Amino acid sequence: MNILAVGDIVGENGVKKLKETLLNIKSKYNIDFVIVNAENSAGGMGITTSIFNDLKEMKVDVITMGNHTWGKKDIFSFIDNPIIIRPANYSKGVVGKGYGIYECKGKKIAVINLIGRTDMPIQSDNPFTAVQEIVDSISSNVDIIVVDFHAEATAEKIAMKYYMDGKVTALFGTHTHVQTADEEVTKNRNRLYY
């Protein structure tokens, strides 16, 4: 199973670039499942209905969000669509859902979206306890768990890496709009308990 995770798509130019390149990337790397973070896709803040439709047409499997989730009011008309998730550690009662479970090639893939608390301009619940609760509730029913941790501080992301090591299949970070290229296969990779 090859999963592609695309960090924050910024503005209409970002959407255009994805349109131009996604098919080639998918065929070059044999991609089965695509996750994109679209919190900045509409002029840098939020997502519109037309961009949401564009991403669906591009066969993006899951759209994750972040601190700009509510940047455009359009989102309230499609926030309940299964392919879009927003940070799971928003306060209880906020519309939308923080994770989804999807089928791909006979496997069940869970995608969880989280938001950090360090230097983040919005307040949220604890992402560590939130992700643990979700993992505990779904791990026996899924084959793969992928987490998009939308956070500012490298340290918070690294702490999440240690916390989730052996509990999820993959964790990637979004929000900072820079390539860090610090991917790593972690110590407890063979100790997945699900």
Reading the block at residue 165, the tokens are 């090591």
**Amino acid, single-letter form, for residue 4:** L
Instruction: Write down the least CB distance from residue 86 to Fe ion, Å.
Output: 12
Instruction: Write down the least CB distance from residue 87 to Fe ion, Å.
Output: 10
Query: Using the 8-state DSSP alphabet, how is residue 47 labeled?
Result: -
**What is the rounded radius of gyration, in angstroms, for the C-alpha atoms of the chain?**
16
C-alpha triplet 21, 78, 14: angle, nearest 5°: 25
- Catalytic residue among 68, 150, 175, 177, which? 68
- Rank residues 8 and 156 by Cβ distance to Fe ion and give the closer one: 8
Instruction: Write down the least CB distance from residue 176 to Fe ion, Å.
Output: 8
Instruction: Write down the least CB distance from residue 10 to Fe ion, Å.
Output: 7
- Rank residues 43 and 191 by Cβ distance to Fe ion and give the closer one: 43
- Rank residues 86 and 175 by Cβ distance to Fe ion and give the closer one: 175
Residue 189 backbone class (left: φ over 0; alpha: ψ -120 to 50; beta: rest): alpha
- Rank residues 178 and 185 by Cβ distance to Fe ion and give the closer one: 178
- In angstroms, the CA 33 to CA 22 distance is 12
- Rank residues 36 and 144 by Cβ distance to Fe ion and give the closer one: 36
Of 80, 39, 44, 95, give the one whose Cα is nearest residue 63. 39
Of 163, 170, 127, 164, give the one whose Cα is nearest residue 147. 170
Of 90, 43, 29, 93, give the one whose Cα is nearest residue 64. 90
Q: What stretches of the chain show up as alpha helix (H) in DSSP?
A: 11-28, 49-57, 127-138, 154-164
Instruction: Write down the least CB distance from residue 163 to Fe ion, Å.
Output: 21
Check if 68 is active-site. yes
Question: What residues line the site for Fe ion (CB under 5 A)?
Answer: 8, 40, 66-67, 175
Residue positions annotated with a catalytic role: 68
